[in-house]
Amino acid sequence: MAGKSKDSIEFEYKSDVLLTIYNILLDKFGQMNWWPAKSDFEVIIGAILTQNTSWKNAEKALNNLNTHNLLSFKAIYEIDLDLLKLYIKPSGYYNQKAIKIKEFINFAKREYNFSLELMKKEDAFAMREKLLGIFGIGKETADSILLYAFKKPVFVIDAYTRRILERHNIIKGALKEKYEKLQRLFMANIMPDEANVKVYNEYHALIVMAGKMFCKRTPLCGDCPLKEL
């Protein structure tokens, strides 16, 4: 331990806990095979639609877009904004979300001529900064796009992640902690050398499942697989 900082020692301890949580949830739920979408483009649109709503509502909006053959760059670029709002209405906040989707589409045309392959070739950090510069795309949405659509090794932090960290005393003040600090906690300890996209993908999906089933606003601790912690 000589020569290591206090933070390094703390991270080593957290590493065991984070790996334990991952293994417990994987044993409980099995592989999640996320993101639930038919294409990388659908992942991106879904990441915007699922803001401040359940995936069930976002999926209804995606189904509307699919029914009207709108799940492509060109189709959404050409569709009238008011009509787009109508189709994505089930997702809630549809006025703002329609503008956000249009802004992303305009960005993709301006910077990459609608090429997902060119976007995927970008450095993860550089692309993250570009995504965060688009109206309506925050850190969680940007990282979801990077991980699930572009297959970049970034860990997504959401409300379920914060709640589980807080309730299991893994880090105090997790509900108020900066996004990047919590992200580093995972990325520094979960296969940091391998930058394992598949594990980051699986881990986040497992956390979401645990959050939906057990770690709700009012927790159901009795049957939670993490209660042994």
pLDDT bin (cut points 50, 70, 90) of residue 229 is confident
Q: What is the mean pLDDT of the chain?
A: 91
Are 163 and 128 spatial neighbours (Cβ–Cβ below 8 Å)?
no
The predicted model gives 103-113 an average pLDDT of 98
pLDDT tens-digit series, residues 149-175: 999 999 999 999 999 999 998 888 888
pLDDT at residue 217 is higher than 50:
yes
Domain boundaries, the chain: 6-30+156-223, 40-149
Structure tokens at 191: 């296969």
DSSP label at residue 178:
-
CATH code of the domain made up of 6-30+156-223: 1.10.1670.10
Class of domain 40-149: mainly alpha
- Structure token pair of residue 129: 């900064």
pTM assigned to the model: 0.90
- What is d(CA 32, CA 47) in angstroms, rounded to the nearest whole number? 17
Report the distance separating Cα 39 and Cα 142, nearest Å.
Answer: 17
Q: How much of the chain exceeds pLDDT 90, in percent?
A: 81
